[in-house]
Structures are given as structure tokens and as C-alpha cells.
């Protein structure tokens, strides 16, 4: 079965694909998103939405919905082992978003999906798996499965927003350079029994990093570095490590989610090939410590929408525009990966010496704390690239 051609097909309706589709429709293009899942993945991943993304949402006209559902993280308290060594406030960040908004990723995806459906009720096709595509001179034809049948659809441009194992990237044989880091973590959401209120807390502990973030619904997420990868962590296991390292008890506290993750860094060697672009985790995977992968994906999506808008208006410029998108976004992805790497390195056992303590103490005091807050909130990455 085949349907009428559209301007753009997006493979993958995660946070990046859903956002990109909305931005393209707002520019007047027809767009279809193929998503193999029947609903957002409830497995908890990202929680941090940075001010740069809230500014994008504001321009797109839906920041309000995020602000209603999310919790504003106003700052972060830094500990060296159990000793409090400083606080980083986000008040110094440019107005109006002087905080990081905490919202579980599935809720973020639900807001983006509802927004997309309100712009075009047919734009998102769920339970539709991309199986194949051919990339011709001025069009792309995709084959996907839906309701046990194969369908085809043609567009001028295909964007791969299909995550780290991207079918689109693999089909184009674009190398994904990188490797896993040795670091592993377990994470759990518990009722908040701390006095940190709307602050995050980061413990640079000799036995391994502990991070703690407030979540909506009076919950708090604990992220704990472990020696080895624990496939199915229990809440008691996490509580024991927290108590042992920092003396905070989670015993008897309600737990609503447990998971574990290893970390890796990968970067696609190119973010385009002919009529196909890549954005989000399909193009780059960062360490989640520092929480920037999804936000970086939205910045890609904004640049991608701008690029596509220009390319459709002036098809003769498309190769140059796509090449520029690829070059600029790769450069920014490398910068963000470096920042994520520093965050992770700070949480390692080998950085727990007295000299490092002095350095970290300086980092969390003015004027360095303001600079650090800007880096942490993804400032200075250059939103506009043309």
C-alpha cells in the first residue's frame, strides 16, 4: 500500500522526532513520523530540561505545558564525601529560565505527542516500523510495517531520529565512532525524605558518585555509581549504598522506579547523506551524567528544521545546506560530549585526592560557580548556526 507523498518523513517518534515534526508542520510542511512503539517508553531516562530547550519551546508556543508539569531545580549542592563544599545557583543564568526543569522523559514525550497531534492529527503513525528505504535523486521512498502489512511512502527528505541503534544510520553505512566508558550506575526514584527541597545534590565521594534530583510529585531520583553493571538492581541495594557512603537513610521510603545504566559515547561520522539527515541519539550518544543528550537532540532538531526549510525553498542549495548542518552539529556534539565526560570524570574514585578537592571547592565558589552554572545549563553552544 502506498500513500500520497509528503515533504518530510521522520523515522522515530522519541523526544527529538516528535519535536522536529511539530516545528516542520509549524513551517507549513507536510510530515509523517513513523514510530514502532504504541506509546512512550515508561522506562525512566531523562529528567532534566535545560533553559536553552525551554526557550525553544517558548518560541514554538508550548513552554507553558512543560512549566505546569515540571519541577524547577533552582541549584545544586556539592559535597566532598559527606562535607558540604558549596552551592551552584542557576539564578545567574539569563532570564526567564533560571532553573533546570525536571520532568520524566515519558511525560515530556506525552506533551510533545499531544502538541503534534493538535497541529496535525495524522502526523504521528504509531506501531509503524521502518523496514527499508531508497534514497533517489530528489526523493526518498520508505517501506514500513503497520497492522501486519507493508506500506510505502515517499517524501523529499527523510530524517533519522530513531535513537542510538538507528536503522537509518546503519542503512546508510555511516560509521558511529566511539565506545563504552567503564562507568556504571544504578538509579531509583523514591519519595523525597531529604531537606534539599528544589535543589539537586551531588556527592563526589571516594567510593563513587551519588547524585540526587528532585522530581515532580514529591519524589527524588538517586543515581549511584557502582563498581560493576547491576542488571536488575533492587531498591534495598541502592538504599544500602546511599547509607554507607553519605549516611542518608532511604529505609522504608516508597520506591517507584529502579533501573541501571552503563554509559557510552558515539558520534556519527556524518549527519547526512543525499536527502537524509540524522538528529538526536541517531547522530550522537553522550554520557547521561550531566543530562544533556535529549537537549542536544532538540538543538539539532531546531537546526534541522531551519535547514530543511531553506533546502525546500532553494533545492539547488540543499547539498551545501546539509553539509553545513552536519559539520556544525557534529562540532557542537563534540563540545557537549566533552562537558559530559568532565562531569563523569569528576565522579570517579581516582579524582578524590586533596588537590582535586581544592579545585572543586574553587569551582563551586563565585565567580567560577556562575561560569560552571552556565556550562552545566548548556549555555554558549550556539543555537543558530547559519
329 contributes a contact to ligand FAD by CB under 6 A: no
Which residues are CB-contacts of 285 (< 8 A; sequence separation ≥ 6)? 164, 178, 264, 265, 266, 293
Angle of helix 293-313 versus helix 15-26 axis, rounded to 10: 30
Q: What residues from 291 to 310 belong to the interface with ligand FAD (CB under 6 A)?
A: 291-295, 297
233 contributes a contact to ligand FAD by CB under 6 A: no
Q: Which stretch binds ligand FAD (CB under 6 A): 9-17, 65-73, 81-89, 342-350?
A: 9-17
Per-residue binding letters, 112-131, with ligand FAD (x by CB under 6 A): -----------------xx-
Q: Nearest residue by C-beta to ligand FAD?
A: 14
| Bridging pattern class, strands 129-135 and 140-146 | antiparallel
What is the C-alpha to C-alpha distance for residues 250 and 236, in angstroms, rounded to an integer? Answer: 8
What are φ and ψ of residue 86, in 5° steps? 165, 175
Q: 15 or 75: whose CB is closer to ligand FAD?
A: 15
Among 163, 208, 214, 347, binds ligand FAD (CB under 6 A): 163
Residue found under cell 522515530: 12
167 contributes a contact to ligand FAD by CB under 6 A: yes
**Nearest-approach distance from CB 167 to ligand FAD, in angstroms:** 4
288 contributes a contact to ligand FAD by CB under 6 A: yes
Residue found under cell 516542520: 24
* DSSP secondary structure code for residue 282 in this structure: G
Q: Is 340 helix (H, G, I), strand (E, B) or coil?
A: helix
Q: What residues from 37 to 76 belong to the interface with ligand FAD (CB under 6 A)?
A: 37, 45-48
Among 116, 161, 224, 333, binds ligand FAD (CB under 6 A): 161
| Rg, Å, the chain Cα set | 21
Quote the cell numbers at residue 290.
Answer: 550531566
Q: Are 138 and 5 in contact (CB under 8 A)?
A: no
Q: 119 or 356: whose CB is closer to ligand FAD?
A: 119
**Residue 385 burial (CB count, 10 A):** 17
Q: Is 12 helix (H, G, I), strand (E, B) or coil?
A: coil
What is the C-alpha to C-alpha distance for residues 151 and 9, in angstroms, rounded to an integer? Answer: 13
**Nearest-approach distance from CB 291 to ligand FAD, in angstroms:** 3
**Nearest-approach distance from CB 51 to ligand FAD, in angstroms:** 12
Q: Which stretch binds ligand FAD (CB under 6 A): 74-82, 290-298, 318-326, 344-352?
A: 290-298
Quote the cell numbers at residue 222.
Answer: 538517586
12 contributes a contact to ligand FAD by CB under 6 A: yes
**Nearest-approach distance from CB 160 to ligand FAD, in angstroms:** 9
Chain residues binding ligand FAD by CB under 6 A are 11-17, 34-37, 45-48, 105, 129-130, 161-163, 167, 261, 280-281, 288, 291-295, 297
Amino acid at each position: 500500500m502506498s500513500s500520497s507523498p509528503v515533504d518530510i518523513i521522520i523515522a522515530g517518534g522519541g523526544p527529538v522526532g516528535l519535536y522536529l515534526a511539530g516545528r516542520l508542520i509549524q513551517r507549513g510542511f507536510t510530515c509523517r513520523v513513523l514510530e514502532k512503539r504504541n506509546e512512550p517508553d515508561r522506562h525512566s531516562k531523562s529528567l532534566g530540561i535545560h533553559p536553552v530547550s525551554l526557550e525553544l519551546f517558548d518560541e514554538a508556543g508550548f513552554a507553558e505545558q512543560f512549566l505546569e508539569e515540571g519541577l524547577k531545580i533552582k541549584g545544586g549542592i556539592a559535597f566532598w564525601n559527606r562535607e558540604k563544599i558549596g552551592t551552584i545557583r542557576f539564578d545567574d543564568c539569563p532570564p526567564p529560565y533560571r532553573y533546570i526543569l525536571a520532568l520524566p522523559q515519558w511525560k515530556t514525550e506525552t506533551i510533545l505527542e499531544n502538541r503534534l497531534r493538535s497541529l496535525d492529527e495524522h502526523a504521528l503513525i504509531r506501531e509503524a516500523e521502518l523496514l527499508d528505504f531508497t534514497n533517489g535523486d530528489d526523493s526518498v521512498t520508505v517501506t514500513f510495517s503497520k497492522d501486519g502489512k507493508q506500506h510505502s511512502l515517499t517524501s523529499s527528505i527523510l530524517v533519522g531520529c530513531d535513537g542510538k541503534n538507528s536503522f537509518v544510520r546503519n542503512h546508510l553505512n555511516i560509521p558511529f565512532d566511539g565506545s563504552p566508558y567503564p562507568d556504571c550506575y544504578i538509579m531509583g526514584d523514591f519519595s523525597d525524605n531529604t531537606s534539599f527541597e528544589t535543589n539537586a545534590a551531588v556527592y563526589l565521594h571516594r567510593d563513587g558518585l551519588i547524585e540526587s534530583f528532585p522530581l515532580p510529585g514529591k519524589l527524588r531520583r538517586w543515581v549511584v555509581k557502582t563498581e560493576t553493571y547491576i542488571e536488575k538492581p533492587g531498591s534495598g541495594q541502592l538504599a544500602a549504598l546511599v547509607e554507607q557512603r553519605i549516611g542518608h537513610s532511604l529505609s522504608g521510603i516508597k520506591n517507584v522506579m529502579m533501573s541501571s545504566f552503563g554509559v557510552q559515547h558515539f558520534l556519527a561520522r556524518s549527519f547526512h547523506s543525499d536527502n537524509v539527515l540524522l538528529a538526536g541519539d541517531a547522530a550522537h550518544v553522550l554520557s547521561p551524567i550531566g543530562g544533556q543528550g535529549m537537549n542536544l537532540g532538540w538543538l539539532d532538531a531546531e537546526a534541522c528544521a531551519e535547514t530543511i526549510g531553506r533546502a525546500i525553498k532553494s533545492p539547488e542549495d540543499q547539498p551545501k545546506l546539509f553539509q553545513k548542518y552536519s559539520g556544525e552539529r557534529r562540532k557542537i556534539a563534540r563540545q557537549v560530549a566533552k562537558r559530559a565526560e568532565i562531569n563523569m570524570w569528576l565522579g570517579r574514585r581516582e579524582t578524590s585526592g586533596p588537590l582535586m578537592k581544592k579545585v572543586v571547592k574553587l569551582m563551586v565558589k563565585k565567580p567560577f560557580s556562575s561560569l560552571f552554572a552556565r556550562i552545566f545549563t548548556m549555555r554558549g553552544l550556539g543555537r543558530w548556526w547559519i
